[in-house]
Amino acid sequence: MKNINLRLNNTTESNIAIIILAAGASTRMGTPKQLLPYQGNSLLCHTIETAIASVCNPVVVVLGANAQQIRSEVNQPSLMVIKNPDWHLGMGSSIRSGILFLANYSQTIDAAVIAVCDQPFLATEIINHLVAAYHATRKPIVACQYADTLGVPVLFSHIFFSELATLGETVGAKKLINKYYNEVFSIPFPRGVIDIDTLKDYLQLQTKFLL
In tens, the pLDDT along 7-34 reads: 544 434 569 999 999 999 999 999 999 9
Give me the numbers of helices (H) and strands (E) for the chain, helices first please. 7, 9
CA 181 to chain centre: 19
Q: How much is the pLDDT for 13?
A: 52
Is residue 151 one of the residues assigned to a domain? yes
User: How confident is residue 210, by pLDDT bands cut at 50, 70 and 90?
Assistant: low
CATH number, residue 160: 3.90.550.10
Q: Is residue 4 part of a domain?
A: no
More confident residue, 160 or 76: 160
| Distance (Å, whole) CA 51 – CA 63 | 16
Number of domains into which the chain is organized: 1
Is residue 74 over pLDDT 90? no
Report whether pLDDT(6) > 60. no
pTM summary value = 0.92
Q: Per-residue pLDDT tens for 135-185?
A: 999 999 999 999 999 999 999 999 999 999 999 878 889 999 999 999 999
Question: If DSSP codes are grouped into helix, strand and coil, which group holds residue 55?
Answer: coil
pLDDT tens for each residue of 117-137: 999 999 999 999 999 999 999
Residue 94 in domain: yes
Identify whether 6 is part of a domain. no
| Domain assignment of residue 24, given as a range | 16-209
Judge whether 145 lies within some domain.
yes
pLDDT at 93: 95
Query: Is 7 a domain residue?
Result: no
- pLDDT of amino acid 148: 92
Per-residue pLDDT of 77-105, as tens digits, reads 889 999 999 999 999 999 999 999 999 99
Q: Please, which pLDDT band fits residue 64 given cuts at 50, 70 and 90?
A: very high
Residues contacting 118, CB < 8 A, separation 6+: 33, 43, 195, 196, 197
**pLDDT at residue 10, as a whole number:** 43
Cβ atoms of 75 and 140 closer than 8 Å: no
For residue 8, being part of any structural domain is answered with no
Tell me, yes or no, whether 3 lies in a domain. no
